[in-house]
Structures are given as structure tokens and as C-alpha cells.
Amino acid sequence: MCYAIPAKVVEIKKNIAVLDYFGERRNVVLDLPDIHIDDYVFAQGGILVRKVDEKEALAVLDTWKDLFFELKEIDQQLAQSSHAEKLSGNALAVLQKINLKQTLTKEDLLILNALQNPQELSVLYDVANQVRQRVHGNASCVHGIIEFSNYCRGDCFYCGIRRERSIERYRMTEAEILATTKQAIDEYGFKAIVLQSGEDLYYDEDKLEHLVKALRQLGILIFLSIGVRPVATYKKLYAAGARAALMRFETSNPVIFNELRPNTTLDERLTLIRELKKIGYVLATGFLIGLPHEQPEDLVNNILLTQELAPEMYSFGPLIPTQDTPLVHAPTISVEQVLKTIAIARVASPDANILVTTALETLSLEAKRQALLAGANSMMINLTPRQYRPLYSIYDHRACNDQTVAANIQETIQLLRDLGRAPMDVGL
């Protein structure tokens, strides 16, 4: 199975390599020594991660050569019509700004967020899909995620692995993480792995450094999602070979942040997120949709803050009220609100890579498909070994808990094909 199409290096400009995918060009960071023009490579998240043997690359490209153009065609067709006549007044004016590629203001985003009527929403989703298609073509990236520990020193009110919750805890060993990653690469063809955990200080700087160095040997993009650590630790892990980091700011509203995340501050988290970017990490950030007491203005501020942090990837998902947490009785957010958030983020930030998160799939089985048609272009597949998956209970009823990795991949490939998306790198 193949999760990324190999590309040919056609140009090298200092530390940027220009890659060719069947005539489409993408710029990526040249992060490996000894790469030359005409080499075949894999790239992930805008970073060149591995050189591939020419014979192997040509064999994979051969299986893709017709499909690649068929997929493009499907994607273009799906991104065609938008029935703008169904919008009226202010919303129509915002739509015109989007079509003219003008920058949207906070008021514009509030107008879009106020749309309720299904017909109007469907126009917004279609327009967002067109913007995605115009900027990214049919590129879509799929990363694997391994949740390696559910120990957490944090006590976030929304989270099912908060320290105060009495649950069975687990921690994968380095050997287990390596074996899971190797299997993901060898059997399923993954080229990027997100390592996620609670804030588990057992995995200290030295252990993490050792782990990252071992994983780096495997020629993949290493994506960290391990919470707040000293900047010095993140610098060390970058030097060891980690290249991407996922850290949501959760909410842009400092009062709500303080209520829900004891002993931490929004400032501290934002400072770290900004530092991650300065260190050079490919950054993924975003927020939870639907925290109690948030107003429409907070949602729009969340999108604007995400934009301001200039991440390579936007990650936001709905709050899922979870058993034995202080937010168990919080209202469940609608799929429409999540799709609307994705679509608004897409039209506000045409260049963004927007993830479909598993929390959305928990709300509805169809949601993944709908999100990909409302502006999203990236996905994650859960690779956590099955015995641990139910224990990584950050929220209730997580989608895919019972599904094998192979079945999940199969389903994802089918979905991407149905929607005409190709797994080439999205580039810088």
C-alpha cells in the first residue's frame, strides 16, 4: 500500500528542492544530504524525508500514472458548482470578496459563522472546497499517529486522560514504538508519524531524544505532540531529527483557558507555540470547537489566532463531552458547526493545510467525507496498537477504536479515491 507518491527532484535552490509529481511542482525543504537533481524522493509536510531507489519509485509511479489524472478530474468536477444565488445580503458580499481573493475581516468571518440555513451552508462548503482545489490541487496528506502514553500531569477539564480521572494507564516502551512505526512504514507505507501522549514526564528529554534519533533512522517525518516542555527540550529534539510539532492553543479566550486548564496559562502555551515555529518545526495548531461559554466571536477569534500563528497545518476538532470529567454535561457540538469552522478557516486562509480530526468522525461517520468537501485536505490514521487504543480515552466513543489499521487504511484510500484526492505532498 502506498501513502505517498514519490516525486522527482527537478531543481535545487539552496535548501529548497522543487519536486515534480506528474508535471505538478511542489517546493519542499531539503533536509537531507546528498540529494541531487533527478533523484526520486518522498516528501511529507513540506519536508523531503527520504530518497527512494529509482527502480522502486518508477514501479510505484507506474501504478499511479493513469489514476493520478483520473483523480484530478474527479476532484475538479466535485469542486465545480457553488449555487451562489442561494446566498443573500452580507454573505453574498463576503463570497464576492473570496472570489476576488481579498482578505476577509473579522466581521466577514462572523457573517459566515452566522449562516444556519442548510442551503446557505452548502454554498459555503462548496466555495471552501473550490478554494482548496484552486490552491492545493488534489494533494492530500495522510499521517499516522501513535498514542504512546496516556499518563498526564495535566488536569484539563475537558480531557479524558486528565490526571484526576481514575483510568488504567499505559506507556509504550521505546521498542514497542519502534516496532509499531516500522510496521507502519513497511506494511502500510507511511512516511510521517505523529507521536502523541499526555504530558508524561517519564519520557524525559533524554528518553525522547533517544527515541527520536532511533525513529529518524527510518526516514520518516517525526511529528511531536507531547504537550508543554521546556524550549530547550524541543530544541534538542529538533537537533535529534524531529521536524514537526502539533500543539493546539485550545482556546484564544484567556478566561476560558484559565477555567479549563488549571496551573497553565494561555500565554505560556502561545509563547511555546511561537518558539516551536522559530526553532524550525513544521507547526500544527488550532483549537477545540464548542468549549462551554464560548461565543461566536470566540470561534472567529480562534480562527484568527490560528492564522496569526501561521502554522503549516490547522488542527481543530469538536469538544466531545467525556465521562468522569468536569465537562461531561457540556452540550455536544453539531457536525455543521465543525464543518462551518473548517470552511471558514479555509476561505480565510486559502493556503492552509486543514486536518480532519478523529473527534469529528466520532460525531458522524459521514463527517470525514463532508469535511474533505468543505475545505479540509489532510488526515490522520490511528496506528496505536489495539490493546492500548481504548485506554487513550481523551474523549468517549472514539471512532476507529475497533477497527484494524489495515481496515482503516483501506477505508481512507477508498474515500480519497472517491473524492479524487492523490497522496502527493502538499509542499510548502
Of these, 198, 375, 420, 427, which contacts ligand SAH (CB under 6 A)? 198
Residue 375 sits in the site that holds ligand SAH (CB under 6 A): no
In the complex with ligand SAH, which residue's Cβ is closer, 198 or 427? 198
Cβ contacts of 351 within 8 Å, gap of 6 or more: 135
The CA distance from 81 to 304, in Å, is 28
- Minimum distance from residue 357 beta carbon to ligand SAH (Å): 8
- Do the beta carbons of residue 154 and residue 181 sit within 8 Å? no
What phi and psi, each to the nearest 5 degrees, are found at residue 193?
-130, 125
Residue nearest to ligand SAH (CB): 227
Fill in the DSSP letter of residue 310: -
Cβ contacts of 39 within 8 Å, gap of 6 or more: 8, 9, 51
Residue 394 sits in the site that holds ligand SAH (CB under 6 A): yes
**Nearest Cα residue to 352 out of 141, 145, 191:** 141
Residue 359 sits in the site that holds ligand SAH (CB under 6 A): yes
Residue 319 sits in the site that holds ligand SAH (CB under 6 A): yes
Of these, 39, 108, 199, 294, which contacts ligand SAH (CB under 6 A)? 199
Fill in the DSSP letter of residue 86: G
In the complex with ligand SAH, which residue's Cβ is closer, 357 or 370? 357
Residue 322 sits in the site that holds ligand SAH (CB under 6 A): yes
User: In this chain, which stretch among 38-46, 182-190, 220-228, 405-413 interacts with ligand SAH, using CB under 6 A?
Assistant: 220-228
The CA distance from 313 to 351, in Å, is 10
Of these, 5, 41, 141, 159, which contacts ligand SAH (CB under 6 A)? 159
- Minimum distance from residue 59 beta carbon to ligand SAH (Å): 37
The CA distance from 82 to 132, in Å, is 14
In the complex with ligand SAH, which residue's Cβ is closer, 120 or 294? 294
Number of DSSP helices (H) and strands (E) in the chain, helices first: 14, 15
User: In this chain, which stretch among 2-10, 105-113, 154-162, 252-260 interacts with ligand SAH, using CB under 6 A?
Assistant: 154-162
- Minimum distance from residue 158 beta carbon to ligand SAH (Å): 4
Strands 244-246, 221-225: parallel, antiparallel or unpaired by DSSP?
parallel
Q: Coil, strand, or helix at residue 16?
A: strand
Of these, 137, 241, 311, 317, which contacts ligand SAH (CB under 6 A)? 317
With 0-12 / 13-18 / 19 or more C-beta atoms within 10 angstroms meaning exposed / middle / buried, residue 136 is: buried
In the complex with ligand SAH, which residue's Cβ is closer, 32 or 279? 279
Applying CB under 6 A, the residues found at the interface with ligand SAH are 158-160, 196, 198-199, 225-227, 247-248, 250, 288, 317, 319-320, 322, 359, 394-395
